[in-house]
Amino acid sequence: MPITNVNGIELYYEVHGEGEPLLMIMGLAHNLLSWKKSLPGLAEHFKVIVFDNRGTGRSSKPETAYSIELMAEEAKAVLDAALVESAHVYGISMGGMIAQRLALNFPDRVKSLILGCTSPGGINQIQPDTEVIMTLLSGASIPTTPVEAAWASVPILYSPYFIENHRDSIAEHIETMIEIPTPAHGFMQQLQACLAHDSYNELENINTPALIIHGDADRLIPVENGKMLADKIKDSKLYIVPGAGHLYVIEAQKDVDDILIDFIKKHSVEKKKVK
């Protein structure tokens, strides 16, 4: 079982496929199993590195304070453990915040940057509505089973259309999520790290090619945040997933994976030409 030690904790990671390295960073309270649908197809093209952030999955779950900066250091440590000097980095939601910080603090480790359904944070970000905020806070404060907590979050993670027409897909994803439940303290510590995240005034310092992906029906992190990232990062492209909610990786998985593959291959070729 591949484990690396960093900052006094153990991080679980996996490596799939061969080729250009792609580090994928998952979001709030989710572990690497949430990449289940995308992983096989992406591993046909790239050396895909996935891992469990602190507080989730098979990584350590300390009850001390977490920060996005700390988790970016740990993402770098996963690259070290996988013997990868630099990688294309894809982070969604909280993982996108970690990916921003990784690109800012360790730019030589990032070949290109893909930011999904995420935010620059701070006072400039567009906040979700009150119902979303209350659902998030109750997720850590009201005792429920992992299944109940997962279903309670469905209205803020998926678009109404997807909820109505693809309940089986949602149930399948929830089953995957709760194989290794995230404890309440892990959820809350990650959430507090997200709330403290603020990269807004640093985004212009990101010099790597970037792809911003966002669903236009995202309630958790409204699409205006994705547009803000695209405006602030110089060499970036914005792809809006029409009709998709926060978990566009479930709602539009194949289309988004195809766009991701094309983006990485394009920038892999450009890097080789520059050399």
Kindly report, residue by residue over 229-248, the tens digit of the pLDDT: 999 999 999 999 999 999 99
The 3-state DSSP class for residue 6 equals strand
Quote the tokens at residue 4. Answer: 């690396």
Confidence check: pLDDT of 35 > 90: yes
pLDDT-derived band at 269, boundaries 50, 70, 90: low
Per the prediction, the chain carries an average pLDDT of 94
Confidence check: pLDDT of 271 > 60: no
pLDDT-derived band at 275, boundaries 50, 70, 90: very low
Q: Residue 253: its pLDDT value, please?
A: 96
Q: Which domains does the chain have, with CATH numbers?
A: 3-274 (3.40.50.1820)
Q: Which of the residue ranges 33-37, 41-45, 144-148, 269-273 would you say has the lowest mean pLDDT?
A: 269-273
pLDDT-derived band at 274, boundaries 50, 70, 90: very low
191-200 in b/e burial notation, b at 16+ Cβ within 10 A?
A: bebbeebbbb
| CA gap 101, 95 in Å, rounded | 10
Question: Can you list the alpha helix ranges (DSSP code H) found in 106-222?
Answer: 130-141, 146-152, 154-157, 160-165, 167-177, 184-196
Q: Which of the residue ranges 115-119, 133-137, 152-156 would you say has the lowest mean pLDDT?
A: 133-137
Q: Residue 171: its pLDDT value, please?
A: 97
| CA gap 34, 56 in Å, rounded | 11
Kindly report, residue by residue over 78-120, the tens digit of the pLDDT: 999 999 999 999 999 999 999 999 999 999 999 999 999 999 9
235 contacts: CB under 8 Å, gap ≥ 6 = 207, 208, 209, 210
